[in-house]
A and B are shown apart, each in its own frame.
Chain A
């Protein structure tokens, strides 16, 4: 009895020591491994995402893709990212990257405005780029605001929708009543009204009434808003309602909520379409073929190329703070065709409209055109 107990003790000792040795082994190897790393003169570029994370197939994913593209173009760039689980993570995530010696920190989304401004003011030499926002960091000249005049791209989308709609009724809705969303809807309505003016048509737009003025910081149009960017059921209900009211094309400006509208188009059947938003997910295969059958075009926001350009310039040392304004000219926004619904003549017309917007001869303010 006593003897058996002793053996048991020894065996226990063995297993506990074994586990301990494993852990210790890991630790010692580590110390040796990290001592050699970190000597190279790499340029660290870092993205802090919002709560969507890098796999949201939209906004955060596009920003991270821009970072990866930059790293591919310039092998000395070492990319890394941190996702925020809540808004209380913004500040510590940014400061973690500051301590890691990131040459540029990209923050994604206007919700990170305050955290980015505070960090930039506290360390004026740290380079920042923030997507879709212009923070008021007075003490720092190293903050680049990446903003996009998406009403220009949406204008083309609106023209396209009005031209291809059979019922001559189109619809739009937004995820939240915030300027980065409403500016899309504003441009869409303007494009439809421009079509009306040129062709003496009366295409109706459901879901948005433009305000007098619409800018990147103030665009208080009235319309249909879901209240978030995740509720796909709401996206389905709204689009199904639009279809039953006679619309045959819906333009959801609501991130993944729009997936619900694709489902509604699939249910309504042939002849019902969605104009997709933000990133051309059919071209990148983020959406599958069954979904893309019902997406006839995408109004995109050039988050990826602008982030890529910001990172590359920071790595080269040519980075300057200020504002980058994405427009049709620099491919910061635009319209991409996902089906063959557009005739060659229509495509040519849209190209010439784009030229007109670039030149400033065509206004993207919906109030410039009579209501159709």
Chain B
């Protein structure tokens, strides 16, 4: 697990008594993991309320509770049936389905069906992890990169162009495609980087607005000759050659979409951990994020830090974009990462959920991906709109961002006050 800086600081503080913490005190304390889990519980409870108030059969059952002695019990049962069916479908659609699992164990068949939910969750999580790391590294430096989505789109455009318009063997083509994505993201990231470093333009405004510029650039590119799919008049790019695609891990015949992209995500997570915890540049980044004045006083070149962090963050966001394209659709079209599909925006909330730390981000991404994928299964099985998954995601983030509220609701003890503050430090300061 990640090393919690604040815990280290708290123990080093001579004012606080050094105590051995039992498992229970750990659990009942406001440790970030516990807070996130409790936020998740609250998210599911509020999601249950939304299900109850938007499902007619449940409401009808409650309207009739005075009609007979058995009615209140019936209403409770209907409520639990509906809420339970929704959450069960969410779970079986994103993790695994017990009955399907035992069927596979017993007969040795249909393993593809058993593994599909996990495969789908990983497929969705892969680009999200990379994009969230991109946002998280910037946040750790005190830089708000709201433009990760635009940078990811640029990466997707660059990667899809290289992947579809050149022919070469896969061993060269895949790295070149990924590199093109990184460069595309870096180009988009360098604009706010240089503007902030040399003119002091606020990066939130610049990155946020660049998202719109890039979204229209996407439409422009998709409608211009070399990029647009020949013989089409709508906004869609050529399809990437198979030599540039990230192939499914278990082969195309397996039907499982999880691709070699997860190794790229793993490498990015390791890189982020090494960079932030082990490299001297990463140390400069974190010092700048924690206290810009101290950083300047100790001789850290603030301009260089700003430009480099935007290059790294933009490059990773671009990588997320190209991984998304080359592992799923293999083409880019007019609604690529637009609207609620924008992983660059989801990445901001995931980075907050994971407290900007690589492993935290991995868990956060898996959770968000599972909710999204499970939401689809829930809608297919119960008819409850998959927007419920978005509601749960939003509520979780809301509670993670307000630890005091969670603390009050669950009456948690304050064992490391600094740990709590750090969760939201830098957000809005």
Contact = CB atoms under 8 A, between A and B. Distances in A.
Interface string B360-384: 0000000000000100110111010
Given A93-B376, A111-B234, A87 B336 contact: yes
A95 B93 CA distance: 12
A240 to B, nearest CB: 24
State the main secondary structure of chain A at its contact with B.
Answer: helix
Contacts of B324: 88
B301 interface: no
Interface in B362-419: 373, 376-377, 379-381, 383, 385-386, 409-413
Interface string A285-300: 0000000000000000
Interface stretch (B77-85, B200-208, B347-355): B77-85
A137 to B, nearest CB: 17
B356 to A, nearest CB: 26
A198 interface: no
B78 to A, nearest CB: 10
Bin the interface of chain B by size. 35 or more
A80 interface: yes
A284 interface: no
A95 B116 CA distance: 10
Nearest to A46: B380
B341 A31 contact: no
Nearest to A51: B335
B64 interface: no
B80 A15 contact: no
- Most chain A CB atoms below 10 A, which of B116, B233, B333, B385: B233
Given A34-B88, A87-B333, A96-B377, A9 B28 contact: yes
Interface string A209-252: 00000000000100000010000000000000000000000000
B83 A26 contact: yes
Given A82-B386, A96-B377, A100-B381, A31 B411 contact: no
B328 interface: yes
Interface string B325-339: 000110001011111
A34 B91 CA distance: 13
Given A34-B85, A87-B336, A93-B376, A26 B341 contact: no
Interface in A134-151: none
B44 interface: yes
A99 interface: yes
Contact of A16 (B28, B83, B376, B413): B28
Contacts of B341: 85-86, 88-89
Contacts of A99: 113, 116
B339 A15 contact: no
Bin the interface of chain A by size. 35 or more
A86 B84 contact: no
A30 B88 contact: yes
Given A85-B339, A99-B113, A33 B85 contact: yes
B379 to A, nearest CB: 6
Contacts of B373: 92
Contacts of A329: none
B396 to A, nearest CB: 14
A176 B233 contact: yes
B41 interface: yes
Contacts of A26: 48, 80, 83-84, 87
A46 B38 CA distance: 36
A160 interface: no
A10 to B, nearest CB: 10
Given A12-B28, A27-B84, A80-B383, A87 B376 contact: no
A353 to B, nearest CB: 31
Interface in A67-107: 80-83, 85-89, 91-93, 95-97, 99-100
B84 A11 contact: no
A86 B41 contact: no
B28 to A, nearest CB: 5
Interface in B25-84: 28, 38, 41, 44-45, 48, 77, 80-81, 83-84
B286 interface: no
Contacts of A91: 257, 328-329
A27 B87 contact: yes
B45 A22 contact: yes
A23 interface: yes
Given A8-B411, A85-B341, A29 B84 contact: yes
Interface string A5-22: 000110111011001101
B107 interface: no
Nearest to B232: A178
Nearest to A123: B255
B120 interface: yes
A12 B380 contact: no
A9 B24 CA distance: 10
Interface string B302-332: 0000000000000000000000100011000
B85 A30 contact: yes
A7 B116 CA distance: 47
A11 to B, nearest CB: 6
B2 interface: no
A358 interface: no
A87 B239 CA distance: 13
A360 interface: no
A229 to B, nearest CB: 11
Contacts of A96: 93, 376-377, 380
A25 interface: yes
A90 B48 CA distance: 28
Contacts of A227: 219
A82 B379 contact: yes
A30 B28 contact: no
Contacts of B377: 96
B89 to A, nearest CB: 8
Nearest to B40: A23
Nearest to B113: A99
Interface in B92-147: 93, 113, 116, 120
Contacts of A178: 233-234
A88 B328 contact: yes
B233 A92 contact: no
5 contacts: A12-B28, A22-B45, A23-B41, A30-B80, A92-B257
The 4 nearest A-B residue pairs measured at CB:
A30-B84, A86-B341, A30-B88, A29-B80
Interface of B: 24, 28, 38, 41, 44-45, 48, 77, 80-81, 83-85, 87-88, 93, 113, 116, 120, 219, 233-234, 255, 257, 324, 328-329, 333, 335-341, 373, 376-377, 379-381, 383, 385-386, 409-413
Interface of A: 8-9, 11-13, 15-16, 19-20, 22-23, 25-27, 29-31, 33-34, 37, 46, 51, 80-83, 85-89, 91-93, 95-97, 99-100, 111, 122, 176-178, 220, 227
